[in-house]
Structure 1
């Protein structure tokens, strides 16, 4: 794991903690800084980072704090307080294994 990837993970942890405390501006700054680091070092962002940050307002998403999470027709639907919606599929587990 490179230095850039470690820094991105650390910034994402700080952004989640700031969002949990209600400091959304601070969370936004951490997310924007992490995205800039990824661009400069040409490394991709981890899946958890992409799924739990708002593409519109750049805040870390915390279910129950600043995002509403629903499950609809094999998809997870996440709506941020800013109005942005993210949808991604989920795999259902086997109902019964005989």
Structure 2
């Protein structure tokens, strides 16, 4: 694991903590920083961060607080309350 991946993991943890505290603007900044780092260093985001961050507005999604999560036809459907964007991924 290189330095960029370690920093991305740290930013993921900080975004999760900020969202748990209700500071969604701060969590949005952490997600944006993590995405920028992954882009620059050509390393992917961890699957946990990919699935728990909104692609449209970069906010860290917390089910029940700022995201609606449903299971429909073998897929998990996550809808962001901030921007209304929808993500679908297969049930693991």
Q: TM-score category by the smaller chain?
A: over 0.9
Which protein shows a greater Rg?
A: 1
Residue of structure 2 equivalent to 1:73: 73
Separation (CA, whole Å) in 2 of partners of 1:34 and 1:3: 12
List per-residue Cα deviations over 1:60-83 (Å, max 9, x = no partner).
111111111000110000001120
**Structure 1: runs of 5 or more not aligned:** 92-98
Q: How many residues align?
A: 91
Q: Does 1:88 align with 2:89?
A: yes
Could you list the structure 1 runs, at least 4 aligned residues long, displaced by more than 6 angstroms after superposition.
none
Separation (CA, whole Å) in 1 of partners of 2:75 and 2:36: 29
Task: Trace 1:13-92 onto structure 2 (pairs within 5 A).
Answer: 13-81=13-81, 82-91=83-92
